[in-house]
Amino acid sequence: MNLATYARRNLFRRRGRTILTVLAVAVAVLIFSAIRTVGVTFNAAADDAMSDRLATRHKVSITMQLPRRYIDEVRAIPGVTGATAANWFGAKDPKERIPFFAGFAADDKWFDVFDDMKVDPAQLAEWKTTPSGVILGDILAKTFGVKPGDRLTITSDIYPGDWEFKVVGIYMPQRRTVDRNSLILHWEYLNNDPRAELTKDQIGWVMTRIGGGVKSADMSRTIDKIFDERDDQTVTMSERAFNLSFIGAFAAVLTAFDLVSIVILLIMMLILANTIAMSVRERTNEYGVLRAIGFPPRHIVGFILAESLLVAFVGGLVGIGLVQVLINMGIGPFIEANMASMFPYFRTPPSVMLTALGLALALGLLAGVLPARGASRLRVTDALRRTD
Amino acid sequence: MATEDSIVTLKNVTKTFYRGKEPIKVLEGLDLDVPTGSFEALMGPSGSGKSTLLNLIAGLDRPTSGDVMVAGANLSRMSDGQLAKWRSQTIGFVFQSFNLIPVLTAAQNVELPLLLTDLGSADRKKRVATALRVVGLEDRMDHYPRQLSGGQEQRVAIARAIVNDPKIIVADEPTGDLDRKSADDVLTLMDKLNKELGKTIFMVTHDPAAAEKASVQRKLDKGALQ
């Protein structure tokens, strides 16, 4: 036997209460991890952005268009290895099988710049020669139930009427954060349609790939300087900054989520503190006996903190197990399959799980501090008299 | 008068408690000598100060004034930490309600005081076995308190009290929660500890039969020894 034996045995003294407290900690860790996962995966696309890809948009707003000729000027800059332009199409599924997906009209170079969207060469070649051809992400194709060769009718928030396309290819993601729910049509096809008269010969944004020795900040300045004296000035940024600009509106929500996740853990701490306080009260007489036979107050503090930490640790481990089963093996794959536009990747990373466990331990320690302090300060004679 | 072989000497000891601002004198000008190797019983009505006196001798409390000398140490001048260490080396406790730890076996309960020593696991086990043999419970080592009778629990508590080889055993109503038969067994055991192992025993009791077993009976009333 050693001193830890007593702390360990105390854990199972009130088995039901300990199990409920462990479950409370586990659920808190699960909820904390789930909420943090939303934030982490929401930012994952930005965090996972390619460092050699730049985005150029109108200086005023992404909603304002740039002249088409800009793309040729960008391509001519030394150090640029590829560039592509696109217009937002505002695609919608007329049958509403999916609430939102990205649809945009891109030029022929799109898949050169976005080589992490892998397309079969034959399908890519067909897309380049088929004006009404579209390439879809694999999950979107599955949702629509289409394969290469099928016809697909899409509507748009921006351009009226039905748009008939021929599915010519499916792209496969080469990285986990690539959106698998996008539809890419031909820029020329859109540009030549009378319904797109207002955006004729205009492009929404430019994506540029730069060579190895080129610094992205230098290239951004170079691009913007070219258009500095024009009517339509540009702002060029890293792909990460570009992606972040889209989720900026959600930043406040994500911050609120973070606060909620902390509150959940604080509630966990109060539950744990209550359990430990009850246990300590029940054992006051015992602590009096231990003190009488010579155990110093620091040992009493140690017993109580060890018990609190053990409950938090076991609860944290159970919580991580729940995260693994319920999120990473359960709703994670489901969300990726059904909400890929928002969450192409939805798994709780080990860093979040370790943070949850670390916070549970820290708060577990904190939960034990007050009861431990109280017990250690009791006069031995008073503690020996207590029988409740 | 204090003698050279006194293990407990109290000189002009006063203990005052406060109820709010009102002082309550429990012990007043008390002198006491307990010779080494004696078995003394302290009797008296409730509220007479028996437990207070026992707590002072055991180093659980300090006097308001006066000196408490036990086994060569002046307890009045020791800090809480020093007192705790001193208790672990000098005093064996026997309580009325046994006060065993319910989640530990008989052997583990007896081993508790040894965890504060430098003894290794094997030495601790030997000492525990010896202590349980002295109280006649070597076959109940792995039993939990709930699996023992009241008398057996008190004998385990006595084993815990002697495992550290203390100089003095203080017992607070050791037979108070026991039936007559078990009480007699416990008293016989305490008598054996006193006579065969030479342990000094200072016992507080309401039970005249228990007091009969002691070699010296003292009476405390209104804070003064009669």
Tell me the per-residue pLDDT of A339-376, one tens digit each, with 9 for 90 and over.
Answer: 766 677 889 999 999 999 999 999 999 999 999 999 88
What digits encode the pLDDT tens for the residues B89-127?
999 999 988 999 999 999 999 999 999 999 999 999 999
Q: How many CB pairs under 8 A join A and B?
A: 62
Contact check, Cβ <8 Å, B93/A289: yes
pLDDT of residue A31: 94
Q: Which residue has the higher pLDDT, B16 or B226?
A: B16
Residue B87 has its nearest CB partner, among A2, A294, A379, at A294
Contact check, Cβ <8 Å, B101/A381: no
To the nearest whole Å, the CA of A38 is away from the closest chain B CA by: 44
To the nearest whole Å, the CA of B214 is away from the closest chain A CA by: 24
pLDDT of residue A46: 66
To the nearest whole Å, the CA of B84 is away from the closest chain A CA by: 4
Residue B88 has its nearest CB partner, among A5, A286, A293, at A293
pLDDT of residue A48: 66
What digits encode the pLDDT tens for the residues A89-113?
999 998 888 878 889 999 999 999 9
Q: State the Cα–Cα distance between residues B125 and B107, nearest whole angstrom.
A: 8
Contact check, Cβ <8 Å, B93/A10: no
Matching residue, tokens 């021929």: A166
Three-class DSSP category at A262: helix
Q: State the Cα–Cα distance between residues A321 and A35, nearest whole angstrom.
A: 16
pLDDT of residue B1: 44
**In which band, very low, low, confident or very high, does the pLDDT at B2 lie, cut at 50, 70 and 90?**
very low
To the nearest whole Å, the CA of A9 is away from the closest chain B CA by: 6
Share of residues in chain B with pLDDT > 70 (%)? 98
- A290 CB neighbours in chain B (<8 A) are 112
Q: Exposed, middle or buried: residue A334 (CB in 10 Å: 0-12, 13-18, 19+)?
A: exposed
- B104 CB neighbours in chain A (<8 A) are 1, 5-6, 9
Contact A181, A339 (CB under 8 A): no
pTM, rounded to two decimals: 0.74
In angstroms, the first-to-last Cα distance of chain A is 27
pLDDT of residue B46: 85
Q: Flag residues of chain A having pLDDT under 50.
A: none
Chain A CA closest to residue B61: A381
Task: Enumerate chain A positions whose Cβ falls within 8 A of a Cβ in B.
Answer: 1-3, 5-6, 9-10, 12-13, 285-286, 289-297, 379-381, 384, 387
Chain A CA closest to residue B162: A293
Contact A87, A104 (CB under 8 A): yes
Chain B CA closest to residue A14: B103
- B160 CB neighbours in chain A (<8 A) are 293
pLDDT of residue A45: 63
Residue B4 has pLDDT above 60, yes or no: no
Q: Which of B172, B130, B214 is nearest to A381 (CA)?
A: B172
Vertex B92 angle, CA B90 and B95, to 5°: 150
Chain B CA closest to residue A298: B81
List the B168-172 sheet strands across, edge first: B91-94, B168-172, B200-204, B39-43, B216-221, B224-225
pLDDT of residue A49: 67
Contact check, Cβ <8 Å, B115/A2: yes
Residue B113 has its nearest CB partner, among A6, A293, A296, at A293
ipTM of the complex in this document = 0.91
Residue B61 has its nearest CB partner, among A10, A13, A381, at A381
Contact check, Cβ <8 Å, A294/B116: yes
pLDDT of residue A249: 66
pLDDT of residue A246: 73
Residue B87 has its nearest CB partner, among A12, A13, A293, at A293
Tokens of residue B70, six digits: 């036990």
